[in-house]
Amino acid sequence: MGRKDRLNPFRRKPPSDELPPDAGARAWTSSARIGRILDQGFGFLVVGAGISVLALAALLGWELYQGAKEAIRRYGAGFLVSSHWDPVAGRFGALPFLYGTFVSSALALLLAFPLSVATALSLTEFAPVRLRRPVLALVDLMAAVPSVVWGLWAMFEMVPWLRQTAFPFLQKFFGWLPFFQGTIYGVSLLAGALVIAMMITPIVTSLAIEILQSVPLTLREAAWALGATRWEVMRVAVLPYVRSSLVGAGVLGLGRALGETMAVTMVIGNRPEILLSLFAPGYTLASVLVNEFAEVTSEEHLSALFEIGLTLVAVTFVVNFLARLLIRSVPFFFAPRPLRTQSMETNG
Amino acid sequence: MKIPGPWSLFLFLSLLLAWFALALPGGESKPLINGAGASFPYPLYARWFATYERLDGTVRFNYQAIGSGGGQQLLLHQIVDFGASDSPMRPSLLQTAPGKILHIPMIAGADALAYNLPGSPPLRLTPDVVADIFLGRIQNWNDSRLAEINPGITLPSLPLVVVHRSDGSGTTYIFTDYLSKISREWSGIVGRGTAVRWPSGIGAKGNEGVAGQIRSLPGAIGYLELAFAFQNRLPFAAVQNRAGNYVLPSPESIAQALAPTSLTPGDFPISIADAENTGAYPIAGLTWLLLYEKPSNRQKAEKLLSFVRWCLTDGQALASSLDYAPLPPRLRERVLASLPEIR
């Protein structure tokens, strides 16, 4: 038995037949006992950490519910279907915030997801390996930029550009769509969605790169060996292998989009109204919390804001749950068609 | 593999001890006075605390600028020794307090109506027009009512965009208090508060957010804390006061708004919006320190009161250097006389 084995503190039991008969035996068993205690202690620690996360989530939910109880009792279901938000009169309806949160997050994901996956694919499948590292570092750096910095940039650079160039352009060519009608202020639901998209793109890209790199080389090689083109390798060997993980990356991005606060507040216009036009200002659940929480002066208002927080948590929960269902049914969406290998046909 | 020896353990423990010794205050017994509340007067309060701590070495202050509402809540739960607020506390909240809460005006401020028009022409506004702009009734700068009160200026045909605060704020309270006083319609539809249901326009976060929107959006108009309008070099409108004069906001015209107000000892807070004086700027308000009349800790209360007395006398000189309007002498005397005696 080697020295290494003896010093391993996590060994379960000293094999009795190999116990040395000399005095060293006592030292040996005691170190094994310490090891066992450490082992158990570590186990408790890990389980404790796991439980504490659950407990924290439960506590959060409970506290939010306690704060919101008054509003739930007072407004009932009307809170979620009314669009009248008036702190002075004490009437609270959260529908515009729900609408703004859903629309801005969904739009952001719609813009960010294809871009992220395409970036990741180009880096892992097409770009020279030498480029991969620096670009990856840059993407990770972008993910670390604080929300308020994005917001400042968006407010002073992006929004004026949108107002003067991009939105008039969209209105000129797509103005017949109800989404691009109305007065152009610059700050709008669309501006909010764009800034969220920019903020979640680095994260989703970074995850997608990791995921794509996890595809075994043998799969690609097999596809190459069958004479697949680059596109076909991607479609048949790479993407089917990782599709559920990629959707998972999208869900993580969506989770961040739903709760994105500072940057969105700075460009979305903060108007609790439901308008079909994406050029119109909107509002999100997270924004109304950050805007009104500090200056709450009445109990009803405070309670209503707690219910907004509770709603936001519930929305995030439901979205994650639905996304999980989606992942399970994903083969249905992405089912790869049989490989049409023109090269083989021409050869044969 | 080597288990850390007794020496490294010793070293670790002694480092820990040293850290404790450094982190613990060296037996100081200065009372720490905690406060929380409004962020609008925070720059001035911070200056006041620093200056006063140099004058009186036996006291320390800790102020959290978490917003007026937060300050009121913390004072109600007696977590802080004083609160600070830009809006008076609601009667319903005062009733839940464990003791009588005093509103002590510290300084005055005003909201400037800043705008973005090509060429930045000087602009005059009447109360009716201000109300209709913020009610969303006037939607273009070439409106005949604007032309009527601004003879000699050709206002462009440009969509008029209202910019308001999206976060709850004392600045909003001052403005909606004014609108509620001058327009029956406004007080019926919207009312006064730190956060209201705006009939029109876009919301921006903080004074800096509103200033940024106005600066970048031609045709925008919004209300700003006066200091921010100065700092951002934005043009602001002269507003017609109750005496019929068009007045620009300035420390002097705010002081005029304060002149006729009466404050009986221990009085409920007053509004100085739409004041009667001929030179008064109408969109003005006060910011208050909130104290319990009979605080539990006598020692702290004495220190706090002498600080308040200093703020209302020598401290007022610091106000104008930071673009706040000091209280006029007569009002200051009244406030000083109304301060409670700690027995």
Q: How many domains does chain B have?
A: 2
Distance CA A294, CA B249 (A): 28
Q: What are phi and psi of B160, to 5 degrees?
A: -90, 120
Residue B282 domain flag: no
Residue B268 domain flag: no
Report the residue from A88, A185, A296 with minimal CB separation from B197: A88
The Cα angle at residue A290 between residues A285 and A295, in degrees rounded to 5: 120
Residue B247 and residue B145 share a domain:
yes
Residue B246 and residue B220 share a domain:
yes
Distance CA B272, CA B92 (A): 22
Residue B254 and residue B301 share a domain:
no
Residue B68 and residue B198 share a domain:
no
Domain final residue, candidates B219, B241, B258: B258
pLDDT recorded at residue A332 = 46
Of B97, B39, B108, nearest to B256 (Cα)?
A: B108
The number of C-beta contacts closer than 8 angstroms across A and B is 105
Residue B206 domain flag: yes
Residue B97 and residue B28 share a domain:
yes
Q: List, for residues B266-300, the tens digit of each pLDDT value.
A: 555 778 888 888 889 999 988 899 999 888 888 88
For residue A344, the one-letter residue type is: M
Q: Hey, which residues 79-98 in chain B have their CB within 8 Å of chain A?
A: 87, 89-90, 92-93
Q: pTM higher than 0.90 for the full model?
A: no
Distance CA B322, CA B317 (A): 10
Below-50 pLDDT ranges, chain B: 1-3, 26-27, 265
Report the residue from A186, A295, A301 with minimal CB separation from B67: A295
Q: How far is A285 from chain B (nearest CA, A)?
A: 13
pLDDT recorded at residue B39 = 78
Residue B198 and residue B232 share a domain:
yes
Residue B124 domain flag: yes
Residue B278 domain flag: no
Task: Tell me the sheet residues that pair with A316.
Answer: none
Distance CA B229, CA B146 (A): 22
Of A200, A231, A214, nearest to A340 (Cα)?
A: A231
Q: Which residues of B touch A185 (CB under 8 A)?
A: 161, 202, 217
Best mutation target, A297, A303, A306, A308, to test chain B (most B CBs within 10 A): A297
Whether residue A185 and residue B217 make contact (CB cut-off 8 A), yes or no, is yes
Residue B71 and residue B27 share a domain:
yes
Q: Hey, which residues 245-284 in chain A have their CB within 8 Å of chain B?
A: 265-266, 269-272, 281, 283
Q: Which residues of B touch A186 (CB under 8 A)?
A: 216-217
Complex ipTM value: 0.73
Q: Which residues of B touch A270 (CB under 8 A)?
A: 166, 202-205
Q: CATH number, domain at B67?
A: 3.40.190.10
Residue B122 and residue B46 share a domain:
no
Residue B52 and residue B142 share a domain:
no
Residue B122 and residue B82 share a domain:
no
Q: Which residues of B touch A3 (CB under 8 A)?
A: none
**Angle at which helices B329-338 and B298-312 cross, to 10°:** 170
Residue B240 domain flag: yes
Residue B233 and residue B164 share a domain:
yes
**Domain containing residue B322:** 6-108+287-341
pLDDT recorded at residue B113 = 96
pLDDT recorded at residue B207 = 85
Residue B247 and residue B167 share a domain:
yes
Query: What is the mean pLDDT of each successive set of 10 residues along chain A, which is 348 residues long?
Result: 52 54 62 85 92 92 91 89 88 93 94 94 86 88 89 90 91 89 88 94 91 88 90 87 86 88 90 90 92 81 92 88 72 49 44
User: What CA–CA distances, in Å, run from B329 to A192, B106, B107, B108, B322?
Assistant: 49, 12, 12, 13, 19
